[in-house]
Structure 1
Amino acid sequence: MTTNDSSFIPPSGEPQGALAKGMTGRRRLLTYGLGAVAGLAGAGWGWWRMQPSGLADGVLDAFWAAQFDGIDGVPVAMQAFAGKPLLLNFWATWCPPCVEELPLLNSFYHQHRDKGWQVLGLAIDQPGNVHKFLQRMALDFPLALGQATATQFSRDLGNDVGGLPFSILFAADGSIAQRKMGQLKEDDLDRWVASL
């Protein structure tokens, strides 16, 4: 072998020329590839973590027997919503995605209430905060104050992480038809309506 051979690697083992550039490119590709795999794994874990979990034993019976404080001071009994589809939304005034989805829920309520659909917003918040908020944004669907009791129901109904917003679609028979952790979009509601 002569030293004029372009594939010659000196005895020290150090690559030269195009070979050195190729190794740098392979290292870069490996680094980017590993980074992409790590990113996908993290996104997958985050998606999995945000999926609603199973239900606690007896939670549906307890939920339908529950009652919450109404915004106007009149108790809101869950039993009053039985027999028709119910979209239940756990929300708070301090939660930006919750606030962003409220006009969509209000519109959904107006479009579907004559078809037998119901909407209930269960605020995980202080009464004073909710009353001040409603002075800025009027909502037509029923609202109730949940606080600690509603937080526990949210967890028992599959919201392990306690995140907001959390929405549940109950079928007319009281069973859970759909659940979503995170902000509802119009296509979510369209799919939910079509599912019943």
Structure 2
Amino acid sequence: MSENSQVSPGRSKSPLRYIVMAVVAGVIACTGYFAFGGQQRVPDATFTLLSGQKISTSTDLKGKVYLINFWATDCETCMKEMPAMVDTYNRFKGRGLEFVAVAMKYDAPMYVTNYAQTRNLPFKVAMDDGSAAKQFGNVQLTPTTFVVDKDGKILKRYVGEPTFSELDALLDKALNAA
């Protein structure tokens, strides 16, 4: 080896160094995720109900267990899950469950109103102006449902139709703790 081609001690050019650094970073990230239970706090969001009334996660829903369900009238999975969502709400509302079905920004208000009225949806229905979906992690896929506990922690985010037996167990546990 010539003088110019020598690698100084402690300065390895091996890709192994980068692999080790990536693994360490991954372990730190996973440790942090599991140390906090992967739970995030619910964002401070305000929803405009079909009635025009506004409700907020930071005031009106504070201290309550609730579901936020982003949906659309042109979403087949949303239409398929909605009767089960109604059943879930009806089973748990007596124990304090709140529910806000948030129609996506692109959904026509007249379609949302018609659907809510003809199906006699028993929970709050809101129209999103795009801000709520953005605050909840830029929701783009429907249905997306968030389960929030009384402390404002997101317990679960379902993208697509939830497994209702799992959702029931999660709600039961959260409501028992409330």
Q: Scaled by the length of structure 1, what TM-score is found?
A: 0.61
How many residues end up aligned between the 2 structures? 132
Partner of 2:83: 103
> 1:35 maps to which residue?
none
* Distance change in 2, residues 1:194/1:140 (3 Å): closer
In terms of Rg, which structure is larger?
1
Name the structure 2 match of 1:44: none
Higher-RCO chain (CA-CA 8 Å, sequence separation at least 6): 2
Q: Counting helix residues as a fraction of each chain, which structure ranks higher?
A: 1
Give 2:132's aligned residue: 150
Q: Which residue of 2 aligns with 1:140?
A: 122
1:186 aligns with 2:154: no
Q: Report the counterpart of residue 177 of structure 1 in structure 2.
A: 155
Please identify runs of 4+ aligned residues in structure 1 that moved more than 6 A: none
**What letter corresponds to residue 61 of structure 2 in structure 1?**
F
Which among 76, 83, 97 is matched to residue 117 of structure 1? 97
CA contact (8 A) 1:126 1:147 kept: no
Partners of 1:164 and 1:154 lie apart in 2 by: 13
- State the one-letter code of the partner of 2:70: F
Given that 1:84 and 1:116 are in contact with CA atoms closer than 8 Å, whether structure 2 keeps it comes out as yes
**Larger strand share, 1 or 2:** 2
Measure the CA separation in 2 of the matches of 1:100 and 1:120: 17
- What do you get for the CA RMSD once the two structures are aligned? 1.9
Percent identity between matched residues is 26
3-state SS of 2:69 partner? strand
Matches within 5 A, 1:1-196: 60=41, 63-64=43-44, 66-78=45-57, 79-124=59-104, 125-156=107-138, 159=139, 162-196=140-174
Give the partner amino acid of 1:122.
Answer: V
Deviations 1:51-99 (A, max 9, x none): xxxxxxxx846x23x2221111112222201101111111111101111
Contact 2:65 2:148 in 1 (8 A): yes
Residue 20 of structure 2: aligned partner: none
SS at 1:104's partner residue? helix
Q: Which runs of 5+ in 2 are unaligned?
A: 1-39
Distance 1:94 1:80, change over 3 A: same
Unaligned runs of 5+ in 1: 1-58
- Provide the rounded CA distance (Å) in 2 between the counterparts of 1:74 and 1:190: 29
